[in-house]
Amino acid sequence: MDANNLKILKYSLDHDEIGVLCNFDYEENCPSCCDIYKSYLELYKQIVSNKCIDIGEDMNVPDDFTQAEMITGMWWRHLVSGGVAGAVSRTFTAPLDRLKVFLQVYGNQHSNITTCFKSMLKEGGKRGMWRGNGINVLKIAPESAFKFMAYEQAKRLIRGSRTKDLTIFERFMAGSLAGGFSQSLIYPLEVLKTRLAIRKSNQYNGIFDCIQKMYYREGIRSFYRGYVPNLLGILPYAGIDLAVYETLKNNYIASHNNGEKPGMPLLLACGTVSSTCGQVCSYPLALVRTRLQAPYLEGPDTRTMMSVFREIWVKEGMVGLYRGITPNFMKVAPAVSISYVVYERCREALGVTMS
């Protein structure tokens, strides 16, 4: 068997995998053994490629697609599946996300999850727990598209004329550039999400009313408040998320001398742990970003990133910089589980085959 046979069979394998199969002797080994090995490699690729799990965070490194997926057009079906999965998981966990934003903006040393939850429920009722979710779901499509296009272009620029896969650091750089580009384009939607999430009853009559009132009262700059800490937060989040995920996965593979590959539960656990680590390191920047996005009610808004940092540090200390992180952690497990299940169902419905 040679590489051409593999291409005819539509197997998209890397150089090591092709080497193993091309050196496999059909005469000395039963053909079924080679078929089993091919099936095993395809299953492993399916598991590894499923790191497109949405947990409601927008700063992770985009997914890599194989050359076969790019040529056949399977990539857009993956993106659609991921978008639908993200919409469903974000809707299910929207109350926790709104609770996080509420604590970030209004929380202090005298408030906790219980008191904030009761306050939100009393003011807006059960439906009010989903405020801001509509815009949070709507921004999935443009952000995914912008991030994917930017990521592919960044990878081409970094790779140059080389044919080898990118290193972890190179993927991190490409992902950070793509994240910065996509966030720059859709950032006004991030501000709208925060404004709609913390709004009082009857304050805005929908998204367009919110846009009009922000523009006439605060000007165009209000749509980019908190942009700098948001951009700075991409680097630690994307870098730590990718590094921890790859380290955990590779350590597992290295510790199993029998060549055992990590199963789906372990890979999901690796993704959850890596994302959590990224959140912990970038959370203070996310909190400052949210504070700046919220309306300032004490005169002209002259706040800066550093002034908000100082204010939180002086009044609340280190604890204040992590206000609201508990509900953020609480939503990770259900978001990952729901996103994965919905993604698999959408993938099957769209006829996506893992290559």
The model's pLDDT over 260-298, given as tens digits with 9 standing for 90+, comes to 666 767 777 777 788 888 888 899 999 999 999 998 877
Distance CA 125, CA 110 (A): 23
pLDDT of residue 226: 94
Q: Residue 34: pLDDT above 60?
A: no
Distance CA 264, CA 47 (A): 6
Q: Which amino acid is at 22?
A: C
| Residue with the larger pLDDT of the pair 160 and 60 | 160
Distance CA 280, CA 197 (A): 22
80, 87, 131, 195 from 93: Cα distances, Å: 20, 10, 12, 18
Distance CA 89, CA 344 (A): 13
The token pair at 229 is 């800490």
Rg (CA), the chain: 23
pLDDT band at 215 (very low <50, low <70, confident <90, very high): very high
Region 70-99 average pLDDT: 82
- Provide the percentage of residues in the chain whose pLDDT is more than 90: 30
- Determine phi and psi for 191, rounding to 5 degrees: -65, -45
pLDDT band at 144 (very low <50, low <70, confident <90, very high): confident
Distance CA 35, CA 318 (A): 57
Helix axis angle for 227-255 and 168-197, nearest 10°, is: 130
Q: Residue 116: pLDDT above 70?
A: yes
- If one counts every other C-beta atom within 10 angstroms of the C-beta of residue 173, the result is 20
DSSP secondary structure, 49-116, as one string: TT-----S-S-SPPPP--HHHHHHTHHHHHHHHHHHHHHHHHHHTHHHHHHHHHHHHH--TT--HHHH
- If one counts every other C-beta atom within 10 angstroms of the C-beta of residue 279, the result is 22
Region 212-239 average pLDDT: 90
45-80 residue pLDDT tens? 443 344 455 555 655 555 565 565 555 666 677 778
Residue partners of 235: CB distance under 8 A and separation at least 6: 176
- If one counts every other C-beta atom within 10 angstroms of the C-beta of residue 160, the result is 6
Domains of the chain (ranges; CATH) run: 1-48 (no CATH), 54-349 (1.50.40.10)
Altogether, the residues listed in the chain come to a count of: 355
The token pair at 270 is 């690796």
314-334 residue pLDDT tens? 999 999 999 999 999 898 888
The token pair at 183 is 């966030």
Residue partners of 74: CB distance under 8 A and separation at least 6: 65, 68, 352, 353, 355
The token pair at 165 is 């896969």
Cα angle at 222 between 126 and 314, to 5 degrees?
A: 80
